[in-house]
Structure 1
Amino acid sequence: MSESTPAPDRRNFLAKAAAVVVGGLISVVAPVAGLFTLLDPLRRKTDTRGLVRVASLASLATDGQPRKFPVLDTLVDAWNKTENVPVGSVYLQRTGDATVRVLNSVCPHLGCSVGYNASTHGYFCPCHRSSFTLDGAIADPKSPSPRGMDELEAVVRDGEVWVRFQNFRKGSPDKIAV
């Protein structure tokens, strides 16, 4: 009787090689797909705030009396989209048949909410006594505010007032968007 030495099994080799290749593909494809899912918010374009509908032109007084309106916008973060979120407020003032002046209702000094005083026809910040004229300019030279109220871009389209809402750095004489 002769001792038999096992001969290399080619079929066994091919099965093992195929298992290594398939296992390698799976171990590479799955983490790459997970990485794309995880980094998906980073590859999206940054949310650049566009125009936001604030009010109808008919809701503004024709005599130039300003009126305060909340600004509601859609906020998008990494994976969430939330609609009608209050992001601030503005004063709208009709300056013509189809023209509007828009002022951010936040004081440029330290960010307090500015109120409108109908008896003086101007704006007043109760925190540090800054006062502003009807067009948003500083009314009192002793005012602690470093600049007038921040005017925003507005478009009147089909009887609706659309505003490009943004906030600016507080305490700075320069109007720097944040």
Structure 2
Amino acid sequence: MSERAPVPPSDRRTFVSKVAAVVIGGLVTVAAPIAGLFPILDPLRRRGETRGMVRVTSFASLPESGEPRKFPVLDTLVDAWNRTENVPVGSVYVQRTGENSVRVLNSVCPHLGCSVGYNAAGHGYFCPCHKSSFTVDGAIADPKSPSPRGMDPLDAVVKDGEVWVKFQNFRKGSPERIAV
């Protein structure tokens, strides 16, 4: 009978490298799918966010006479995975009504959505599309106006010398103010 050659004992380094490979492989196998879930679930996480107040102008830029001024509303839009800063979402008329108070009206006509202009000589607003006219406070000026309601007022606050507005649009052609 022939004698077998002795089997060398397992090398400790080989054992440690095999265990390290299994641990690292397991971590990568588990971590990659979990990391992949974050971008997929991100829109669901943000679904409950609501739009708040938007800075429109400084209070000092409003005339003390109370004449309304038109300002664009720039907001941050979040669409699924995209976030876009300073996007024009509409415009408003801002009027100084007191020492630290303002009246803000959406510049869109409640009849069919045309842009309303301010007529300084007539001290009121006028829609060029269907001849609707409104008083300075946004009420319907002419009873024969096709607009079903006055101009839409918006919530606003003056904070630290700046005018902040909760901008929103409303359903056109309806006598009730229904936010869209």
**TM value normalised by structure 1:** 0.80
Aligned counterpart, 2:12:
none
Tell me how far apart the structure 1 counterparts of residues 137 and 165 of structure 2 sit (CA, whole Å).
17
Partner of 1:7: none
Counterpart CA distance in 1 for 2:65 and 2:78 is 38
Alignment of 1:14-29 (within 5 A): none
Aligned partners of 1:103 and 1:136 also within 8 Å: yes
Measured in 2, the distance between the counterparts of 1:176 and 1:99 equals 25
Distance in 2 between the 1:110 and 1:46 partners? 30
Structure 1 spans left out of the alignment, 5+ residues: 1-21
Which of 143-152 and 42-51 deviates more? 42-51
Correspondence for 1:135 = 137
Kindly indicate whether residue 96 of structure 2 is the aligned counterpart of residue 94 of structure 1: yes
User: Secondary structure of 2:155's partner?
Assistant: strand
Counterpart check, 1:148 vs 2:150: yes
1:78 to 74, 77, 80: 80
Secondary structure at 1:155's aligned position in 2?
strand
Per the TM alignment, residue 30 of structure 1 is displaced from its structure 2 partner at its CA by 6.0
Letter in 1 for 2:157: V
Mapped to 1, the partners of 2:92 and 2:142 lie a distance apart of 22
Do structure 1's residue 167 and structure 2's residue 169 form an aligned pair?
yes
Amino acid at match of 2:44: L
Match of 1:63 in 2: 65
Equivalent position amino acid for 1:120 in 2: G
1:45 counterpart letter in structure 2: R
1:77 Cα deviation after fit? 1.2
Residue by residue over 1:101-138, the C-alpha shift from the partner in whole angstroms, topping out at 9 and shown as x without a partner, is 00000000010000000110000000011000000000
Give the letter for the 2:104 counterpart. V
Uncovered stretches (5+) of structure 2, i.e. residues with no partner: 1-24
1:112 is matched by which residue type in structure 2?
C
Structure 1 residues 30, 56: CA separation in 2 closer, same or farther (over 3 Å shift)? closer
Which contiguous aligned blocks of 4+ residues in structure 1 show a shift greater than 6 angstroms?
none
Q: What displacement does 1:45 show?
A: 3.2
* Alignment size in residue pairs: 156
Aligned to 2:179: 177
Q: Show the counterpart of 1:11.
A: none
Q: CA deviation at 1:37?
A: 3.3
CA RMSD after TM alignment = 2.0
Alignment-mate amino acid for residue 161 of structure 1: V
What SS does the aligned partner of 1:43 have? helix
Identity of aligned residues (%): 80
CA distance in 2, matches of 1:169, 1:133: 21
User: Does residue 1:118 correspond to 2:112, yes or no?
Assistant: no
Deviates more, 1:34-43 or 1:44-53: 34-43
